[in-house]
Chain A
Amino acid sequence: MPEPTTLSLAVAIAIAVLQHGPSAVIAIAELFKSGEPTVEDISKLFITKKPEEYFKNA
């Protein structure tokens, strides 16, 4: 029987995957991946989509 916190985490991850698909999977995988990131890896972390682009119909 898993602990309640473990269960909550599993449920939260499942919701993330259902709601956000591959991007959530990639983010979770990045968190648990080990090894020194390269300059290219770090460069991919820049946010390029501005907030107003999420609300195009506002």
Chain B
Amino acid sequence: MRVLKRTLLPLLLLIFVLSSLSCVKRIPGESEPSFIEIAYKSLSISKETYDMALTAGNLLFSQGKITPEQVGETIRYASAYMELHNAAVSALLKLKNSGLDEDKNIYISIANDLAVSLLNLTKYLEPIGKGGI
């Protein structure tokens, strides 16, 4: 579990940021990905990160390594994250249907907030994963 906290969550965060910035290396000869494709991949990782973080949190709780108060705080951070993630998915759907720059900017704004929220969630969980209670 400590390996998961130390290695996987920061790695997923890094992949999320890199794919958001379109820095994920492409296969030679392959066409450049569209904005929607990049956003889609970022949100796929975002959803998986949410699931992994909370699954890990529940495991720590069942092992007695975190308190009910810490569970409450984790739920608070995760709820904010879930709300932003779903808002980003809605914004991406709207952009997919409209193709308008205005909708693209709305998506970017929400995605930036989502990245900060992810950072908050992983920052909160990391010390818990290392030391428990």
Contact = CB atoms under 8 A, between A and B. Distances in A.
Given A15-B4, A24-B48, A55-B75, A45 B55 contact: no
A16 B19 CA distance: 18
Given A24-B48, A31-B45, A43-B93, 11 more contacts: A11-B7, A20-B52, A30-B44, A31-B15, A31-B19, A34-B30, A37-B96, A49-B51, A54-B58, A55-B71, A55-B74
Given A31-B44, A54-B54, A15 B86 contact: no
The range of chain B's interface size is 35 or more
A51 B74 contact: yes
B7 A23 contact: no
Given A20-B55, A51-B54, A58-B61, A46 B89 contact: yes
Is chain A's binding surface mostly helix, strand, loop or mixed? Answer: helix
Is chain B's binding surface mostly helix, strand, loop or mixed? Answer: helix
B71 A58 contact: yes
Interface of A: 8-9, 11-12, 15-16, 19-20, 23-24, 27, 30-31, 34-37, 39, 41-43, 45-47, 49-52, 54-55, 57-58
